[in-house]
A and B are shown apart, each in its own frame.
Chain A
Amino acid sequence: MSLLDYFRSSRSKGTASVAKERLQILVAHDRSERHRPSYLPKLQREILDVIRKYVEVDMSAVSVNYEQEASREILELNIILPDTARNRA
């Protein structure tokens, strides 16, 4: 590719397409933050308390994820239990 070609191709692509890509990511992120229900942290704490009644786990054992898709909202709970073999012992 000659130097001239390089300038031509970079001009036809332009900085506007970079701006658009960056904006799409940024705006999607802003929106997911905005739509996240405000009760999530409290939910996470209370779930953790319940689990701790039965199993010894630490803070990081429960993760709560929220995603919004076109037609549905997904609340994802991930609970990592400690090694079961050791628990039984």
Chain B
Amino acid sequence: MARIIVITSGKGGVGKTTTSAALAMGLAQRGHRTAVIDFDVGLRNLDLIMGCERRVVYDFVNVINGEASLNQALIRDKRCDSLYILPASQTRDKEALTKEGVGKVLEELSQGFDFIVCDSPAGIEHGATMAMYYADDAVVVTNPEVSSVRDSDRMLGILSSKSRRAETNAEPIREFLLLSRYDPARVANGEMLSVEDVQEILSLDLLGVIPESRAVLNASNAGVPVILDGESDAGKAYGDAVARYLGEQVPHRFLTVQKKGFFSRLFGG
């Protein structure tokens, strides 16, 4: 049986897809059979971030409608054997994801995988509720900014009332906070909410703090999940988050301003 993880936020553009790609790759690299699903119907871009956009033949909705089998639609990652991607459909029909259809696909995937990572679309509408409905765990991606924190809190309300676990009175979804686009220099200046501030408001287990990083754009330009850029701050921070998700105790890094070394100061690195 696979564990189903939803990457969610409420607010758009906070880093869900970046996080889905990184966590899925991180789990797979550790040998866990992992599938990552794009729930953003009509606006698919997980395939771009994963660098497999030219290999998309069938998609999630094709599988739900019985137009393709799961095996036909799943794309195996070229860098990591245990990672598969299920792309979103480009259809305009947002209702194409039905609760029964999604449930059937997840059920079938559960047989062969250890983890299923669901990349949620923004908002609290149909697509987002479908992505979280069957979740066992939720990673709430939040930026240190008022509207993002507020939306995360609203998402927590939905997770605890409208999910399968809530409706069947099962053990509640495990919820984690992933604070992204964190800028320690601005926090030090009092211009940005600190990780402690956000924790105090949301009181969630902190899965990780991902710094605002140039590596993220570079990675998405190249279609390489940023976690594979092991030299970068964001790559390392995502690596730590994967370790924490798997139960390891890892201290948080990149929470304070990095002192620049002599050479990087000299060359403005």
Interface residues of A (CB under 8 A from B): 11-17, 19-20, 22-24, 26-27, 30-31, 34
Report which of A14, A20, A31, A34 forms a contact with B191, defined as CB distance below 8 A: A14
Contact B187 A16 (CB under 8 A): yes
Which residues of B128-160 have CB atoms within 8 Å of chain A's CB atoms? 145-146, 149-150, 153-154, 157
0 or 1 for each of B177-210: is its CB under 8 Å from A? (1 = yes): 0000000000101111110010011000000000
Q: B149 — which chain A residues lie within 8 A by C-beta? A: 23, 27
Which residues in A have their C-beta under 8 angstroms from that of B197? 16, 19-20
Known pairs A27-B201, A31-B157; A20 contacts B150 (CB<8 A): no
Assembled-state Cα–Cα distance A41/B146 (Å):
31
Write out the residue numbers on chain B whose beta carbons fall within 8 Å of the beta carbon of A13. Answer: 190
Whether B193 pairs with A26 at a CB distance below 8 angstroms is: no
Asked if A23 and B192 sit within 8 Å, CB to CB, the answer is no
Interface string of B159-183 (1 = CB under 8 A from A): 0010000000000000000000000
Q: Is the CB of A19 within 8 A of B146?
A: yes
Bound Cα distance A11, B161 (Å): 41
**B146: chain A residues within 8 A (beta carbon):** 19, 22-23, 26
- In the assembled complex, which residues on chain B have CB atoms less than 8 Å from the CB atom of A14? 189-191
Where chain B touches its partner, the secondary structure class is: helix
Q: Which residues of A have CB within 8 Å of B157?
A: 30-31, 34
3 smallest CB-CB distances across A and B, nearest first, come from A14-B190, A34-B157, A20-B197
Chain A residues near B161: list those with CB within 8 A. 34
CA distance A24 to B187 in the complex (A): 18
CB of A17 within 8 A of CB of B190, answer: yes
Give the docked Cα–Cα distance between A83 and B154 (Å). 44
Q: How far is the CB of B107 from chain A (nearest CB, A)?
A: 30
Q: In the complex, which residues of chain B have a beta carbon less than 8 angstroms from the beta carbon of A19? A: 145-146, 193, 197
Given contacts A20-B201, A23-B146, A23-B201, contact A11 B190 (CB under 8 A): yes
Q: Which of B154, B191, B194, B201 contacts A24, CB < 8 Å?
A: B201
Contacts of A24 in B (CB 8 A): 201
Min Cβ gap A17→B in Å is 7
A31 near B194 with CB under 8 A, answer no
Residues of A within 8 A of B189 (CB): 11, 14
Q: With A16-B197, A20-B201, A34-B157 as known contacts, state yes or no: A27 contacts B150, CB within 8 Å.
A: yes
Q: List 22 A-B contacts (CB under 8 A).
A: A11-B189, A13-B190, A14-B190, A16-B193, A16-B197, A17-B190, A19-B146, A19-B197, A20-B200, A23-B150, A23-B193, A23-B201, A24-B201, A26-B150, A27-B149, A27-B150, A27-B153, A27-B201, A30-B150, A30-B153, A30-B154, A31-B157
Q: Measured between alpha carbons, how far is A16 from B201 in the docked complex, in Å?
A: 13
Residue with the greatest number of chain B CB neighbours at <10 A, chosen from A13, A19, A24? A19
**Chain A min CB distance to B209 (Å):** 15
